[in-house]
Chain A
Amino acid sequence: MDRQSQETLEALRASAENYLSAGQSAGGTEAPPLTSAPAEVDPGEAHAQSTPEPSATPMPAPEPVENPYQDSFLANEDMAAWLVVPDTRIDYPVMWTPRDENYYLRRGFDGRDDQNGCLILDTDSCVDPFTTNLIIHGHNMKSGAMFGDLDKYQEEAFFQEHREMLLHTEDGLHTYEVIAVFRSQVYKKTDQVFKFYQFFQADTQEEFDDFYNNIKELSLYDTGVTAAFGDRFLTLSTCSYHVDRGRFVVVARETGCEDMYAPFR
């Protein structure tokens, strides 16, 4: 990685760590536990939750906490999120540039040339509002940087120890659990096959099932994690060399989301 880009990234990480450690020491500002995202919300039920019985004691809204990646969001408005896979090297900003998807393919967070590039949120994905599937592309660097270690998920033992993924957006923290790991490839436009990279939004059960059934079928092993219509996914994709234009893909299901971050100061 370019030294200056590396330093920028380290500074951003340090900034986030400072926020996290400050939040923990303050006690009251520690992030609240995440709640699991409901698969399907009954509108009536949701209404009932939002209008509690008059006799019930109103629950205090959780105190918003400062976003640990606030400095990074403010430093570059192209940053859509920050991805962390605990206990791995995957701890990077995720850039979103609808005007040019490949802008950060060979550029660092600071916009300088960097062969590692940045993690890229597919332009058809969106975090505001969230699409059903967020696809993040990253280079499979031999050094292990970016998604260079992603293919370690080929081993089930690695998956068992790294099931969880965290995505910090401007508003909150989203947690995910790996649901499928598979090899695929970029197909010809005319190929009538399952293309994981074309699934972003499931508005119907059928659309959801098509994606879900395919990733489960392709998965190199059974993760034991299931999903239902209404769940959201995070898909990490990097180059693979089992075939021409191969891709190695890890899909995770959202297990929790909390809009807990305070607006930027």
Chain B
Amino acid sequence: MKRLKTIVSLLAAALLLLTPGSKQLQVSAAEPVTYSLKYVEDKGEWRYHVGAWDDNNAGHRELYYLKQSIKDGDIIVVEGGEHNLDLELPVNLNNITFNHSHLAIITAKSVENVYVLRDSVAVVNGDVTNAHVYDNAVANFNNNVTNLYITKERSGEQTIAVVGTVAYVKTGDAEKVYNEFYNFQANSFRQEEGILKTDASKYSTIPSVVTPVMPSDPAATIPVAPVDPAVTVPVTPVDPTVTVPVVPTVPTAPVAPVVPVAPDDSLYDDVPKTGDLFALPGLLVTGAGIFFGSAYLLKRKSA
């Protein structure tokens, strides 16, 4: 049966490739939409609003509708509050911003950019390309993170855990870079209140040499011969009784780091930096406890 499935898949793929005009196929993606999420006290539930949240505007709706309308590339902003949020969005998100969130768990296929702002507690399920964690935020990433930026604006006391791998970590503030680390093994990145707890054997302080990918010669591409569209490929029905066992996800091997270009202050306008760099916030032990407990329960639930 598996073989049959493979053959069907290959035939379907070949059909798509050989269809005249398929190479000109264009996908016109709609503009990304920003959804602000906030707990509405008088409704007793989390709601969403398209665009920035406006307390004066009652145009917010139940999250049920958000799940119907959200699409790849959209943006989520979780606004602060006293209530937990656990939301599954089966799309590839462009951005998630946690803005003073109490405990917010977002599950997505993947996220391009995650911003966990000061005083936020966030859990993200799904691979993340760029994760930005600020000040005293608490964040748990349950899949791989490509680039993790730990930024100190007022204080650098982030508590962060990553279940997957982390290719690149940079700590610093608006003025300078403190540290750069590379290639954290799966389930090894731990930072507690600003202190890296990962065993030194599980990451590197020097970037790996990345073999440049040479652009392929366009002339070397194999021409695709047009096929008579009248020819159809028979699709053999698949036996529905046969179930394919789900292979548990194995933590991936450390990936080659994507060395990003550090933000250069000279690129930005010269405006006085008025962050509170040295204030020491209160301990987040309780928050961290709640966060790790919830993350653990979530993990058990999903296992």
A and B co-occur in one complex: yes
Q: How far is the CB of A189 from chain B (nearest CB, A)?
A: 6
B118 and A105 contact, CB distance less than 8 A = no
A140 and B276 contact, CB distance less than 8 A = yes
Q: How far is the CB of B202 from chain A (nearest CB, A)?
A: 28
Listed residue (B99, B269, B272) with the most chain A CB atoms within 10 angstroms of its CB:
B272
Total B residues in contact with A, Cβ cutoff 8 Å: 28
Total A residues in contact with B, Cβ cutoff 8 Å: 33
Q: Secondary structure of the B side of the interface?
A: loop
Q: Does B26 contact A (CB under 8 A)?
A: no
A241 and B281 contact, CB distance less than 8 A = no
Q: Does A264 contact B (CB under 8 A)?
A: no
Q: Interface digits, B155-187 against A, CB 8 Å rule (1 contact, 0 not)?
A: 100000000000000000010000000000000
Q: Report the Cα distance A51→B233, complex, angstroms.
A: 98
Q: Secondary structure of the A side of the interface?
A: loop
B115 and A239 contact, CB distance less than 8 A = no
A143 and B279 contact, CB distance less than 8 A = yes
B151 and A244 contact, CB distance less than 8 A = yes
A241 and B135 contact, CB distance less than 8 A = yes
Q: Does A186 contact B (CB under 8 A)?
A: yes
Q: How far is the CB of B90 from chain A (nearest CB, A)?
A: 27
Given A142-B154, A244-B151, does the pair A239, B276 have CB atoms closer than 8 Å? yes
Q: Does A70 contact B (CB under 8 A)?
A: no
Given A142-B281, A143-B279, does the pair A241, B117 have CB atoms closer than 8 Å? yes
Q: Does A245 contact B (CB under 8 A)?
A: yes
Q: Does B275 contact A (CB under 8 A)?
A: yes
Q: Report the Cα distance A238→B263, complex, angstroms.
A: 21
Q: Does B286 contact A (CB under 8 A)?
A: no
Given A186-B269, A188-B269, does the pair A242, B117 have CB atoms closer than 8 Å? yes
B279 and chain A: residue at smallest CB distance: A142
Q: How far is the CB of B293 from chain A (nearest CB, A)?
A: 26
Q: How far is the CB of A15 from chain B (nearest CB, A)?
A: 27
Q: Does A141 contact B (CB under 8 A)?
A: yes
Q: Which residues in A have their C-beta under 8 angstroms from that of B74?
A: none
The B-contacting residues of A in range 97-128, CB under 8 angstroms, are 101-102, 105, 115, 120, 122
Q: Report the Cα distance A238→B99, complex, angstroms.
A: 17
Q: Does A198 contact B (CB under 8 A)?
A: yes
A139 and B268 contact, CB distance less than 8 A = no
Q: Which residues in A have their C-beta under 8 angstroms from that of B118?
A: 241
A242 and B275 contact, CB distance less than 8 A = no
B269 and A189 contact, CB distance less than 8 A = yes
B281 and chain A: residue at smallest CB distance: A142
Q: Report the Cα distance A195→B271, complex, angstroms.
A: 11
B274 and A137 contact, CB distance less than 8 A = yes
Q: Interface digits, B234-277 against A, CB 8 Å rule (1 contact, 0 not)?
A: 00000000000000000000000000000100011101111111
A187 and B274 contact, CB distance less than 8 A = no
Q: How far is the CB of A243 from chain B (nearest CB, A)?
A: 7
The contact of A197 among B135, B154, B155, B269, by CB within 8 Å, is B269
Q: Report the Cα distance A139→B274, complex, angstroms.
A: 4
B155 and chain A: residue at smallest CB distance: A142
Q: How far is the CB of A263 from chain B (nearest CB, A)?
A: 32
Q: Report the Cα distance A133→B208, complex, angstroms.
A: 51
Q: Which residues in A have their C-beta under 8 angstroms from that of B271?
A: 137, 186, 197, 237, 247
Q: How far is the CB of B112 from chain A (nearest CB, A)?
A: 15
Q: A interface vs B, CB < 8 Å?
A: 101-102, 105, 115, 120, 122, 137-143, 147-148, 186-190, 195, 197-198, 221, 237-239, 241-245, 247
Known contacts A139-B275, A142-B276, A243-B115, then 5 further A-B pairs from the complex at CB < 8 Å, ordered by chain A residue: A122-B272, A137-B274, A141-B276, A188-B268, A244-B115
12 CB-based A-B contacts, threshold 8 Å? A101-B272, A102-B272, A115-B276, A120-B272, A140-B154, A140-B274, A142-B154, A189-B268, A197-B269, A221-B56, A239-B273, A242-B97
